[in-house]
Structure 1
Amino acid sequence: MSKDIKIKKGLTIRLKGEADKTLFDAPRSRTFAIRPLDLHLIIPKMVVKEGDKIEAGDTIFYSKGNDVVKFSSPVSGTLTEIKRGAKRVITLITIEGDQQDTFRDFGIKNPDAMKADDVKNHLLASGCWPFMKQRPYDVIANPEIMPKAIFVSGLATGPLAADLDFTLQGKEKELQTALSALAKLTEGTVHLTVGKDGKSPLAGLNDAMQHRANNLHPAGNVGTQINKIDPINKGEVVWTVAAQDLVIIGELFLTGKYNAERIVALAGSSVKSPQYYRTKIGSEVATIIYDSGLNEENVRVISGDVLSGTTISPKQHLGYYHNVISVIPEGDDYEFFGWNKPIFNKISTSRAFTFSWLTPKKEFELNTNTNGEHRAFVVTGSYEQVFPLDMYPMQILKACMVQDLDAMEALGMYEVAPEDFALTEFVCVSKQPHQDIIRKGLDLMYKEIG
């Protein structure tokens, strides 16, 4: 039975620069890159070496911890650089792309006629498996463990997030094929959440239980949906898949090609023409940004959304899991008496000196200034106002900081990911790095408990 989700705790952050519903083909990037840092806890073991010619879909490396988990090239071309850091750890793999991609053929498959192991092996061989992530720990799913459920969020509620209703238009066949494949991988249910208006291309598809959610952020986070639909207990595992990655999986079965295409939203108040671009995973961000143009020079470029994305330079590349590039002003200036005067141009959940609550529909032009310094936790109750999960956010953060594994287990760490604490970090008057604290806590649990 489907379960609608209506959260009352949260915060919708409206920023200027939302991408217009227009789609363009991005200029072909000269280079493409995969950062192993995006693939958390994965240690790459290379299959190809510098100078090798590869096709789109060819395996370029596999996980040292589990050699069946392979990672494929998003394009055809020449592997030009394997960059290493301390202790010769691979930090960047760069491919110089061909003008036109040639694809490795994995064969057309019908998931309805396949067994679960056949579907799994097909995803592993093609390099589509890294799109499957698991809770607990928010890492790439272990193919040896069957999940009790699989969750797909067809709703994006974050600031400047790519509109999934727009990016998935015309992809119903690929989406249905991918959902049919996912349904073979669990004895439980594939849970699919869409917006309450029901206009999503995902609405009405088979092989998944449909849920509807309101648009208050973080209703679109898969962590919120897990907590409200089927919470995780100790010893249980669920998998999550991003909606755009369903298209890549579906196209693999329909055409036999690993087509790592991304429809990316270029958004932010510093962008002249915020709009959508069709590109590839790992493409160079500069090709998109300079095609649109910037309103100013002193900007911060973020691969991902402004709450949980990664700061990059325009010469770097799109993150493995990201479908939005956010460009906002760099906050490197200081406001005289900014703490002691009425404020109308900033968002705050507090009504002390700030008046954003008077204009709930207003779009703000925010920069990266933290408006304060790092200090010890101040108990204000603001976290609970924006944290809809049935947990105690302050207590979880403190348990992670003191590495109390028993308390972390008891407080519900098994079903959270760093992005679930992005809003509490945004409203934190103590300027504590909540997402980093949660990430370190999850890594500790993964190492000690497994």
Structure 2
Amino acid sequence: MSEYIKIKQGMNLKLIGEAVKFIIDLPVAEVFAIQPSDFVGMIPKLLLEIGTTVEAGTPLFYDKNNEHLLFCAPVSGKLIEIVRGDKRVILAIKIRTDHDIKYVSFPKADPNSLFRNQITEQLLQSGIWPLIRQRPYGTIANPNDDPKAIFISAFDTNPLAPDIDFVLSAEESHFQTGIDALAKLTTGKIHLNVQESNSPAPVFSQAKKVQINTISGPHPAGNVGVQIHHIDPINKGEVVWYLNPQDVVIIGKLFTEGIFDASRTIAVTGSQVDNPKYYKTIVGTSIKNILADVGLKSGNNRIISGSILSGSQTLADGYLGFYDSQITVIPEGNEYEFMGWLTPGLEKFSVSRTFFSWLNPNKKYDLNTNLHGEERPFVITGQYEKVFPMDIYPVQLLKSILIEDIDMMEKLGIYEVAEEDFALCELVCTSKIKSQEIIRRGLDRVRKEFS
């Protein structure tokens, strides 16, 4: 039975730089990179040497903790560099691509005719399994688990996020095939969550073998963690899997076409982008040519792979993150601001009524990375609760992590959250506490304690 969930706490951050709904198909980039840091809790063990020729779907490395978990090349070409950091930690595996991508062939099949172990094996061998993640911990799903449900959020409420209805408007067949495969991986329900304010595209409204739930409210209503909390909360010992809609299409293509097609449509957005657009590209692509095509405004820019709230900083010649479908460019904000908060602030954003800009609630802002202060004593102000739509005490949970009290973390709901769920808390925090880093620290501590 479908559910209707109304989210009241939260906030929509209105920014300048939304992408125009027209998809550009640029030539394949010259270099691609898979970055192990995209995969929480994974220790990479290389399978190939520099100079090896690969095809899309060729295994590059595996997880030291689970040798069956393979990570494969998204394109064909030659492995040209293994970038290492301190203590020889692998930061990136780079591939110089061919002009025409060649694919490893996998068996084509109707998922409805396959058993669970057959679907799992094909997803593992093709390198597609890492697209499936789990709560708790926000890590790659364990293939041996039986999740009580699988969640797919069909909308994204992050600032300037891509319109998923638009992106998947012509992918009905592959999306349904992906759903058919996922249905064999759980004895529970597949929850497909759509936004009330939009009439969902046929790719979602006509999907079978799913429970379509309607969600309304401001960000973070589109976060899968918020949806899980309100529809099927996680208790200790339970596991829920989740993945992005575009990744469901990748799964569908594996079974219909027999290839690992890592294509992804991304939105290039932000106030420092001259011509924000959508691009059809491939996971791990170099973003250099994309940024050159949209054009960047002069100045010191912050380039983010992902959302402005929870994405990762990258360079102008960096690479698209494995799970990201957005590139955001905003001003760095490292310039001194004369008189600061003493000015009237008609053009300044504030979650309180510090500035007169609150008189224009529909105004779009050109925000930068300036923190407007430094870290201060962590006190209870009630700000977090206004933007945190879960029945969890966010400040108390963060403090339990800081003192490393695992029993208290469990009682306060550590299993239900991930970093992105605390992004707005970090934004509104007058104490400038790095909430997302603290949450990740807590999740890693609990995971290691019970692994």
TM range (shorter): over 0.9
Question: Distance in 1 between the 2:439 and 2:255 partners?
Answer: 36
Matched-pair contact (CA < 8 Å) for 1:265–1:276: yes
Shift of 1:215: 4.6
Q: Give the aligned residue type for 1:270.
A: Q
Cα distance, 1:247 vs. partner?
A: 1.1
1:343 is the counterpart of 2:328: no
Distance 1:198 1:328, change over 3 A: same
Question: 1:361 aligned to 2:377?
Answer: no
Counterpart in 1 of 2:418?
417
Identity fraction in percent: 49
1:344 and 1:247 map into 2 onto residues whose CA distance is 44
Aligned residues: 449
Quote the offset at 1:18 in angstroms. Answer: 0.4
SS at match of 1:247: helix
Q: Name the residue aligned to 1:306.
A: 308
Partner of 2:247: 245
Name the CA distance, whole Å, in 1 between partners of 2:365 and 2:431.
Answer: 22
Question: SS at 1:426's partner residue?
Answer: helix
Residue matched to 1:185: 185
Q: Which residue of 2 aligns with 1:91?
A: 91
SS of the equivalent of 2:385 reads: helix
Q: Are 2:392 and 1:391 equivalent residues in the alignment?
A: yes
Structure 2: distance between partners of 1:327 and 1:436 = 22
Structure 1 unaligned residues grouped into runs of 5+ = none
Tell me the equivalent position of 2:229.
227
State how 1:10-409 maps to structure 2 within 5 Å.
10-196=10-196, 197-200=198-201, 201-351=203-353, 353-409=354-410
Q: Kindly provide the CA deviation profile for residues 312-332 of structure 1, in whole angstroms up to 9, marking residues without a partner as x.
A: 111111111100000011101
In structure 2, C-alpha distance between the alignment counterparts of 1:74 and 1:174, rounded to whole Å: 18
User: Which amino acid letter does the alignment assign opposite residue 408 of structure 1?
Assistant: M
1:198-218 deviation per Cα after TM superposition (whole angstroms, max 9, x unaligned): 323312200110011125100
* CA distance in structure 1 between the partners assigned to 2:49 and 2:164 by the alignment: 37
Conserved 8 A contact 1:378-1:429: no
* Counterpart secondary structure, 2:5: coil
Q: Is the 8 A contact 1:349 1:382 kept in 2?
A: no
Q: Is the 8 A contact 2:8 2:217 kept in 1?
A: no
Shift of 1:275: 0.5
Contact 2:387 2:424 in 1 (8 A): yes
Q: Which runs of 5+ in 2 are unaligned?
A: none
Give me the TM-score of the superposition, normalised by structure 1.
0.98
Secondary structure of the corresponding residue to residue 21 of structure 1? strand
2:440 counterpart residue number: 439
Q: What is the DSSP-based 3-state SS (H/G/I as helix, E as strand, rest coil) of the residue aligned with 1:121?
A: helix
In structure 2, what is the Cα distance between the partners aligned to 1:142 and 1:153? 20
Stretch moving more, 197-206 or 291-300 = 197-206
Greater Cα shift, 292-301 or 49-58: 292-301
Aligned partners of 1:88 and 1:23: how far apart in 2?
39
Q: TM-score, normalised by structure 2?
A: 0.98
Deviation at 1:355, TM superposition (A): 3.2
Q: Which runs of 4+ in 1 moved over 3 A?
A: none
Deviations 1:367-401 (A, max 9, x none): 11111111121321110000001100000110111
Secondary structure, counterpart of 1:202 in structure 2: helix
Cα distance in 2 for residues equivalent to 1:233 and 1:248 = 30
Q: Please give the root-mean-square deviation of Cα atoms over the aligned residues, in Å.
A: 1.0
C-alpha separation in 2, matches of 1:93 and 1:342 = 49
Q: 1:150-205, CA deviations, whole angstroms, 9 ceiling, x for partnerless residues? A: 10000100101111011111001111111111111011101110111332331220
Q: One-letter code of the match for 1:229?
A: I
Aligned partners of 2:169, 2:195: CA distance in 1, in Å?
Answer: 15
Query: How many Å separate the matches in 1 of 2:124 and 2:92?
Result: 22
Q: Are 2:194 and 2:214, in contact at CA under 8 Å, matched by a contact in 1?
A: yes
Report if the CA contact (8 A) 1:28-1:287 is conserved. Answer: no
Q: What are the superposed Cα offsets for residues 69-114 of structure 1, whole Å, 9 maximum, x if unpaired?
A: 1111000000011122233221110000011100111021111111
Structure 1 pair 131/95, CA: closer, same or farther in 2 (3 Å)? same
Distance 2:293 2:217 in 1: 31
CA distance in 1, matches of 2:448, 2:316: 35
Q: Deviations over 1:254-313 (max 9, x none)?
A: 100101001010000111100000111111111100011112231110000100001111
